[in-house]
Amino acid sequence: MVGDVSAAEASAALEPSLAEIETALARARAALLAEQRPDGHFVFELEADVSIPAEYILFRHFLAEPIPDELEARIGAYLRRRQAGHGGWPLFAEGAFNISSSVKAYFALKMIGDSPEAPHMRRAREAILAHGGAASTNVFTRSLLALYGALPWRGVPVMPVEIMHLPRWFPFHLTKISYWGRTVLAPLMVVHALKPKARNPRKIAIDELFVAPLEEVRHWPGAPHQKFPWTALFAGIDQLLRWTEPYFPTSWRRSAIDKAVAFVTERLNGEDGLGAIYPAMAYSAMMFDSLGAPRSDPRMVQILAAIDRLLVIKEDEAYCQPCVSPVWDTALACHALMEAGGDEVAPRLRAALDWLVPLQVTDVAGDWAAQKPDVRPGGWAFQYANAYYPDLDDTAVVAMAMDRAAGGWPAASDRDHNDVTYKEAIARAREWIEGLQSANGGWGAFDSDNDREYLNAIPFADHGALLDPPTADVTARCISMLGQFGETPDRNPALARAVGYLVKVQEKDGSWFGRWGMNYIYGTWSVLCAFNAIRLDPGRQTVQKAVAWLKSIQNVDGGWGEGGESYAMDYAGYRPAPSTASQTAWALLGLMAAGIVDDPAIAAGMRYLARAQAGDGFWKEERFTATGFPRVFYLRYHGYSKFFPLWAMARYRNLKRGNQPSTQFGI
């Protein structure tokens, strides 16, 4: 699938003219502007695997909360459509069978009313049993099954709520795990302490999904990332807790539950929900329900409303999103529109940026402050509201967009209105980002120095994503912001340490790992943009290795692609995958950031984008190109194929017309 020089040259022979590019840009720009909301922002669907909509069905039946028949039927249609040829449900489009998502999807469909003897259910059951059955699922799935009485609690690792009493110096503490970890575990520990039984009004069971009688199961699956000696240590601790937990003082448990409830209540986040992510919202509702809160309790009302706001309901299908991405979508759309230009863009851009301004969090010191108490807040969250958990990636991208609009894109500048407001917001964002740099020079997404790797070995962390350590892509974005603001490594020691971090974590083949986008293409694009922003010599070996790697993996159709398989523990180098518009755009933007413009690889990539553009001005992209948790949870941003290809084509046009080797902007 991966092409060679001759393939790129052959495709380059059909390089689209600038007039053709301009026509494609006009269509894509008009299509994107048509998606702008009346108040100025952009938001597109954010789709994950079937686990979230399946869990939504099971959650509502746990509470015995009625779901309208029409909605339940539409979710069922969605789940059936996503069933793969292997009989189960993968973690991403065209992916391999996954036992956990398959069990949840089967359970949800049976709950909806699908007969176990229906052809699609028989195929699913056969595939599940062939892969070890429901007892082989991951910890969070087994936890859900235990709540339904489908599996004994001994199949779930012990996470006693008394953890809430541990001091910060203890090896495990909520402040030492990721934001998503603490917002899920705090309510989940209460639920596990109380062990409520799902109401399950239809009395649905899934005994047929188990290979062996549950009373005979003594060993439950772990995860490939969990290694000796940590596994042995934590397994021993788990066994000790299992023996001693029944004897914990009642008063101690009661006060621990009170602490967990206080933690959750303080962060409920109105109708945007705890952590603004589905799992935390669902477990917070289960927690209050287990404690006896009625449906009229304002907290329950808020949580249930927040969850229902995640639903995407279409004419014939429906599903539940894991969260929403309005700040991210709006900021990236702004960058693409500024790159594309056009008279109609300026007022629409101002509306988008003005929508972002009041969403900056300046009055709440979130959980990040436990590690950095002297830093003033100043970040943006990913969602509409998530004040305790702004993230550095969004903040850097928003700040760069405002900076470009106020100073580097005169058509968007309004001296009487925008510039002062934007500059104040930018200064506060920069202060917050610089304050959250980790000790190794990099930046994580939500916290600093959240990198105690031994915690991923605890039995409850079989997803391997309990932490939020510095990553190349987020670090690159923060460097890009500082570089766009005029900072250089020779004048800024913090920036120099960050560049050193990126050089250190570069892969042997020249690429960089992409934590939040799929995968090495995303990471490499991010870093090459950062190096361009700080004016790193493109002739340096670190840049040239990355350029060579990107060229070497270009597909024969001129595009680029990469799948979720690239996150495998045994990854040994790039694995060919079909081209996608968003990944092609990242590769092109990365190469252009390295000064590569008049090159067969660029020409071939532009030809791919020109050919792949659909009649509506966008690009069709069914494959997943983003990441929630590597190897566990993947994402499909519906906006990525709408703004990234537009962005890449516009940059190509601008560089060709301006006769410049690279852009002056951070991304």
pLDDT tens digits, residue range 75-84?
999 999 999 9
Taking the C-alpha atoms of residue 241 and residue 221, their distance in angstroms, rounded to an integer, is 19
Q: Distance between CA 660 and CA 511 in Å, rounded?
A: 25
Instruction: Annotate 470-518 with DSSP letters as a single string.
Output: --HHHHHHHHHHHHHTT--TTT-HHHHHHHHHHHHH--TTS----SSBS
Can you tell me the distance from the alpha carbon of 138 to that of 161, in angstroms, rounded to the nearest whole number?
21
Instruction: Give the residue ranges of DSSP H helices in 341-452.
Output: 345-356, 392-403, 418-435
Confidence check: pLDDT of 647 > 60: yes
Neighbours of 603 (CB within 10 A): 21
143 has pLDDT over 60? yes
What per-residue confidence (pLDDT) applies to 234? 57
Question: What is the model's pLDDT at position 61?
Answer: 97
Q: What is the mean pLDDT of residues 295-306?
A: 96
Count other Cβ atoms within 10 Å, centred on residue 168. 9
Q: Give me the pLDDT at residue 222, please.
A: 60
Instruction: Quickly state the pLDDT bin for 570 (edges 50, 70, 90).
Output: confident
Residue 23's pLDDT is: 95
**In terms of DSSP bridges, do strands 311-313 and 318-320 run parallel, antiparallel, or are they unpaired?**
antiparallel
Kindly report, residue by residue over 43-62, the tens digit of the pLDDT. 999 999 999 999 999 999 99
415 pLDDT above the threshold of 50: no
Q: Is 468 helix (H, G, I), strand (E, B) or coil?
A: strand
Picking from 480, 648, 456, the residue whose alpha carbon sits closest to that of residue 569 is: 456
Say if residues 21 and 606 touch (Cβ distance below 8 Å). yes
Q: What is the pLDDT of residue 217?
A: 72
Burial code of 482-493, b = ≥16 C-beta within 10 A, e = fewer? bbbbebebeebe
Mean per-residue pLDDT, 241-256: 82
As a whole number, mean pLDDT of residues 224-249 equals: 66
pLDDT of residue 28: 97
Q: Tell me the pLDDT of the chain averaged across its residues.
A: 92
Q: At what angle do helices 600-612 and 640-658 cross, to 10 degrees?
A: 140
Please, are residues 276 and 258 in contact by the beta-carbon 8 Å criterion? no
Rounded to whole angstroms, how far apart are CA atoms 366 and 14?
Answer: 53
Give me the sign of the Cα torsion angle 154, 156, 157, 161.
Answer: negative
The pLDDT confidence band at residue 235, using thresholds 50, 70 and 90, is: low
Give the tokens for residue 665.
Answer: 């902007």
Compute CA distances 371 → 181, 404, 452, whole Å. 16, 31, 13
Averaged pLDDT for residues 287-315: 97
The token pair that represents 360 in the structure block: 């900056």
How far apart, in Å, are the Cα atoms of 536 and each of 482, 489, 499, 530? 13, 9, 10, 9
pLDDT score at 651: 96
Residue of 393, 394, 449, 473 marked catalytic: 393
Q: Decide if pLDDT at 442 tops 70.
A: yes
d(CA 26, CA 341): 10
Average pLDDT estimate for 521-540? 96
| 393 counts as catalytic | yes
CB atoms inside a 10 Å sphere around CB 351: 15
- What is the structure's pLDDT at 243? 72
- 121 CA to centre of own chain: 30
For residue 341 the two structure tokens come to: 């230009």
Q: What is the pLDDT of residue 625?
A: 97
Helix (H) or strand (E) segment spanning residue 635: strand 633-637
Does residue 215 carry a pLDDT above 90? Answer: no
Q: Quote the percentage of the chain above a pLDDT of 90.
A: 82
Please report the pLDDT score of residue 221 as a whole number: 64
Q: Phi and psi (nearest 5°) for 320?
A: -110, 130
* H or E element that contains 311: strand 311-313
The CA distance from 639 to 410, in Å, is 26
Give the pLDDT confidence score for residue 412 in this predicted structure.
46
234-258 average pLDDT score: 79
Q: Quick one: CA torsion of 104, 107, 110, 111, rounded to 10 degrees?
A: -100
Instruction: Report whether 634 contacts 627 (CB < 8 A).
Output: yes
Calculate ∠ Cα 568-79-460, nearest 5°: 45
pLDDT at 410: 47
Report yes or no: 190 and 257 within 8 Å, Cβ to Cβ.
yes
Taking residues 57-78, report their average pLDDT: 96
pLDDT of 548 strictly over 70: yes
Nearest to 140 by CA among 199, 58, 255: 58
pLDDT value of residue 3: 47
* Confidence class for position 460, pLDDT limits 50, 70, 90: confident
91-120 pLDDT, tens digit per residue, is 999 999 999 999 999 999 999 999 999 999
CA–CA gap between residue 328 and residue 265 (Å, rounded): 26
Residue 233 has pLDDT above 70, yes or no: no
Which element (helix H / strand E) includes 529? Answer: helix 520-533
Mean pLDDT of 583-603: 96
**What confidence category does residue 451 fall into, taking pLDDT thresholds of 50, 70 and 90?**
very high
